[in-house]
Amino acid sequence: MKLIILDRDGVINYDSDQFIKSPQEWKPLPGSIEAIARLCQAGYRVVVATNQSGIGRGLFDMPTLNAIHDKMHKACAQAGGRIDAVFFCPHAADADCQCRKPKSGMIEEIAARYNVSLAGVPSVGDSLRDLEASVRLGAQPILVLTGKGSKTQAKGGLPHGTLIYPDLAAAVATLV
């Protein structure tokens, strides 16, 4: 099975320092939805791993998060793609949970759910914490320069072997 792990905000859709708090605020980045469709057509199972501390902060609730994800799923389906599952951490940063990236609990859950080793599995993010969470389980870190990606690259300290692309579409073009 070919698997790929994608962060959400800054990779699939525009990010916001004020959080994406409603379906109306969720807007896909140019080419991202089509890139997910290309992955699906190439036989990849696409999963999303996303920190959603807005829930823990009380900025939005679970029905709202589900509505945001429903919009994302529908956009992918309209382009001929599919997101197999969305894994998320609802906790605020100070909760010290195991699922919030850069900790690897959410990524471990993906490996367990699909009963696979994540060695070499592409894991696309726009922040260091996205990459750190996946690389702990042997995934291939891929940084996109959308969202916080350019700032992440400028700060340095990326995991060894991190591949860097302008956006999700460019990363997918090399994978398929």
Looking at residue 85, what is its pLDDT? Answer: 98
What's 2's DSSP letter?
E
Q: CA-to-CA distance for 25 and 142, rounded, in angstroms?
A: 26
Q: Are 77 and 36 in contact (CB under 8 A)?
A: no
130 is catalytic: no
pLDDT digits (tens, 9 = 90+) for 143-176: 999 999 999 999 999 999 999 999 999 999 999 9
Q: Report, as an integer, the average pLDDT of 38-55.
A: 97
- Give residue 112's pLDDT: 97
Domain that holds residue 64: 2-175
Q: The CATH number of the domain where 67 resides is what? A: 3.40.50.1000
pLDDT score of 31: 98
Is 61 annotated as catalytic?
no
Q: How confident is the model over 15-35, as a mean pLDDT?
A: 97
- One-character DSSP codes across 12-30: TB---TT---SGGG--BPT
Mean pLDDT of the residues in the chain: 97
Interval 82-127: pLDDT, tens? 999 999 999 998 999 999 999 999 999 999 999 999 999 999 999 9
pLDDT score of 13 = 98
Phi (first) and psi of residue 163, to 5 degrees = -90, 145
What's the average model confidence in pLDDT over 122-139?
96
Total domains in the chain come to: 1
Look at residue 165 in the predicted model and tell me its pLDDT.
Answer: 98
Q: What pTM did the predictor assign?
A: 0.97
Which two three-digit tokens encode residue 47? 């999963």
pLDDT on residue 26: 98
